[in-house]
Structure 1
Amino acid sequence: MTADGPESSGVAELTASFTALYGTGPDGVWAAPGRVNLIGEYTDFNDGFVLPLALPHTTRVAAARRTDGELRLHSADVPGGVVRLRVDEPASRSEHGWAVYPAGVVRALREAGHPVTGADLHFRSTVPTGAGLSSSAALETATALALDDLFELGLRRPELALLAQRAENEFVGVPCGVMDQMASACCTEGHLLHLDTRDLTTSQIPFDLTSLGLRLLVVDTRVTHQLGDGAYAERRSGCEAGARTLGLRTLRELPYDELPDALERLTAAGAHESVVRYVRHVVGDNRRVERVVALLEAGEVRAVGPVLTEGHASLRDDLRVSCPELDLVVSAANEAGALGARMTGGGFGGSAIVLIRERDADAVTAAVLRAFASAGHRPPGIFPAVPSPGARRLV
């Protein structure tokens, strides 16, 4: 198979640099995208619903199979040389940095019984790091897909996503849900991925904004977020505590129309006020995913905007994972005529999304840039979110 079109030059460059690093050419080149999530935040580890799309930004990996138990890892985006490990050797973030992600995928595959006997891997990524766009999931998914092909494991995409999630949970130490890895592995061009994280069933929702004169912008605040610092884990544990108090396995089991009664029960049981807020957000955001899907299926795409803004308010006030820069994007964009906006991803920095009419693109962009300049923030990165293909082999 050969790569053609705009991807071909990047493949050639990655292949050449792989050969220079390792002395021989790769067996193939694979790519996995980052993502933005239209709606449904902090719902995936509660067995809830999410609605992401894949970005055109990808992590690419040139890879070759080894049979000697050695794992060699290199990134063109991170200073430093080749990281060398044994496939059965634990990797740590403190010692190995970024390499713990692909090394964790190797360990997850091996512990699941798959005969991964070593590999040479060389990465290059265009997914912004720390921007809430799932750069880590893209790295993990690209690794998993490459190894699946190299060792002819025959894994289905949801299985790859679960193994990549396990790598991040157990070997990196971030207790994320499975949305990011599923989005990277399973999204399709021109569509949103409607994912039920309880059973991993999916449906592809057409999302052709251009034909409607609309655009979805991503605004990277350039405030780097870190999900391994405990705040994300605290919210997960709070959601789990709320479910236990209510006698539920997960918050997915709580119907939206029973939410007011459930919140009263939590308060009466002495649940911490943060737990009450977290439950309100998760159950509410599950409902917002259902509302957005219904609007899209009815062709009422512009009506999605206010649901996005409503979701941001919940993330800001109930989950408390926003930050001043994210709030500023939402307020400035909406005041300039956006249909709606919200932070996306884990929060504490990262990115926001803004749904706009095409004719308002310049005005909304200028308003956000002015607001950041007036507040003394460095300029954000702004680019359109184009629903793109999921993970794939390039050559």
Structure 2
Amino acid sequence: MSESSASGVWFAPGRVNLIGEHTDYNDGFVLPFALPRRAVVTAGPAAGPRSRVRSAQQDAPVEFTAATVRPGDVPGWAAYVAGTVWAFREAGYPVSELDLELDSDVPVGAGLSSSAAVECAVGVALAGMSGVDVGPTGLARIARRAENEFVGAPTGGMDQMAAMHGRAGQLVFLDTRDDTVELVPFDLAAHGLDLLVIDTRAPHSHADGEYGARRADCERAAAALGVPALRDAGLPEVETLTDDRIRRRARHVVTENDRVRAVVELLRSGADPREIGPLLDASHVSMRDDFEITVPHVDVAVESARAGGAVGARMTGGGFGGCVIALCETGAAAAVAGAVEKAYAGHGWEPPVVFPGIPSDGAGRLT
């Protein structure tokens, strides 16, 4: 990203989080990986006086002025693009007026970070076009600022860091307090395993009131415990909280951090990945009962995947819809998917979409 170019094509992937939900904005630990599904940006100098962005998934192009665009200027889907330009400029890097064409096969609303994929793809395009070496963590922070301050979604930084740091065959173990990254091997094929991603087709949104309410509950818990963030709390302290809802919210975060670290230790040690199955299951129970972010589509998908032979399954993403992951024997993948499809048919629901979760490379340049 250190050489400038008049035009080019850049990409950034969506992500799946293996484990570690709602821990990122609590200074905790997460363990995502980049997907082969990605947002692709074709960028070149603007033909006119303003920047112009077109999306293959949208009807009409949107224009804005890169040199002056501010939060509130651009609504809707194009806010992720304009917001990244704004955050790149606010970070002190040069911006010029650009023509951008966007295409993405990351499902929208599935909890696979389609928005972060767009932001990071635009970010690597801006860095490539301007000839500055921002670095993957720097671009992830720019993209996160775009989402937080321009779009207005109170997310943590996991999505953008996974999109920037992902590598084929690796998990991204991220300490969100200081943005340190360790890549952890995750070669399921060598162990005869598959990880299925099951898009439940239930409505999903990170920017709604429920997500913000959970974040506020966590902040209340940390304040009541007298710690900077729930990452600094232990379970014995959490159990002393007198407000039942706040106690359960904090308990999820503290135990989820423990589960992330346990998964990392197992995988670091070369253990059979099947051993992480119970930790995936426990994560889902915690999200369902303590954090209360699952919905019927999600719970049915997890339960039927387990009944169909999965060695572990959980919801992944911010909750209230989105995707489920199921770890299963390679030979049982079809049976697991079929069990979920049968359960959905029994409820009269739209069929889920099932595809393999394969750790893939993070953002970069295509041409």
Flag whether TM exceeds 0.5 (same fold): yes
SS of 2:99's equivalent in the other structure is strand
- The 2-side partners of 1:67 and 1:361 are apart by 49
**Structure 2 residues without counterparts, runs of 5 or longer:** none
> More helix per residue: 1 or 2?
1
Q: TM-score, normalised by structure 1?
A: 0.89
Matches within 5 A, 1:62-211: 62-66=42-46, 70-80=50-60, 82-87=61-66, 88-90=68-70, 92=72, 96-211=75-190
CA RMSD of aligned residues (A): 1.7
- The alignment status of 1:349 with 2:328, answered yes or no, reads no
Matched, 1:222 2:201: yes
1:202-240 Cα shifts (integer Å, max 9, x gaps): 111111111110000000011120121211111111111
Residues 107 and 68 of structure 1, relative CA distance in 2, 3 Å threshold: farther
Q: Distance in 2 between matches of 1:361 and 1:253?
A: 39
Q: Is the 8 A contact 2:10 2:41 kept in 1?
A: yes
Q: Distance in 1 between matches of 2:246 and 2:340?
A: 33
Tell me, yes or no, if the aligned pair for 1:224 and 1:350 is still in contact at 8 Å.
yes
* Residue type of the alignment partner of 2:260: V
Answer whether contact 1:32 1:59 (CA < 8 A) is retained.
yes
Inter-partner Cα distance in structure 1 for 2:268 and 2:188: 13
CA–CA distance in structure 2, aligned partners of residues 89 and 37 of structure 1: 32
Mind listing any 5+ residue stretches in structure 1 that lack a counterpart? 1-24
Cα distance in 1, alignment partners of residues 93 and 80 from structure 2: 18
Query: Are the aligned partners of 2:110 and 2:323 in contact in 1 as well (CA < 8 Å)?
Result: yes
Q: Secondary structure at the match of 1:163?
A: helix
| Inter-partner Cα distance in structure 2 for 1:57 and 1:51 | 18
Does the Cα contact within 8 Å between 1:26 and 1:62 map onto a contact in 2?
A: no
The 8 Å contact of residues 256 and 283 in structure 2, kept in 1 or not, is answered as yes
* 1:240 pairs with 2:211: no
TM-score (norm 2): 0.95
Contact 2:95–2:126 at 8 Å: present in 1 too? yes
Which segment is superposed worse, 324-333 or 295-304?
Answer: 295-304
Confirm or deny: 8 A CA contact 2:225 2:237 kept in the other structure: no
Distance 2:54 2:70 in 1: 17
Which residue of structure 2 aligns with residue 260 of structure 1? 236
Q: What's 2:10 paired with?
A: 30
* Distance (whole Å) between structure 1 residues aligned to residue 164 and residue 286 of structure 2: 28
Aligned sequence identity (%): 49
Secondary structure in structure 2 of the residue aligned to 1:74:
strand
Shift in alpha-carbon separation, 1:189–1:229, aligned structure 2, 3 A: same
Q: Specify whether residues 26 and 77 from structure 1 end up closer, same or farther in structure 2 by C-alpha distance, changes over 3 A only.
A: farther
Structure 1 CA distance for aligned equivalents of residues 232 and 97 of structure 2: 42
SS in 2 for 1:228: coil
Aligned to 2:252: 281
Of 31, 36, 39, which aligns to 2:19? 39
1:293 correspondence with 2:264: yes
- Shift of residue 198, structure 1, vs aligned partner: 0.7
1:53 correspondence with 2:33: yes
Secondary structure of 2:19's match? coil
Deviation of residue 89 (structure 1)? 2.6
Q: Which amino acid aligns with 1:261?
A: E
Task: Confirm whether residue 359 of structure 1 aligns to residue 359 of structure 2.
Answer: no
Conserved 8 A contact 1:325-1:349: yes
**Distance in structure 1 (CA, Å) of the matches to 2:59 and 2:47:** 28
CA distance in 2, matches of 1:26, 1:138: 22
Deviations 1:143-190 (Å, cap 9, x if unpaired)? Answer: 011001111221011010011000000011110000000000111011
Distance in 2 (alpha carbons) for counterparts of 1:316 and 1:274: 13
Paired residue type of 2:250? V
The amino acid that maps onto 1:338 is A
Counterpart AA for 1:30:
W
**Aligned with residue 289 of structure 2, among 317, 320, 325:** 317
Question: In structure 1, how many angstroms separate the alpha carbons of the residues matched to 2:38 and 2:310?
Answer: 28
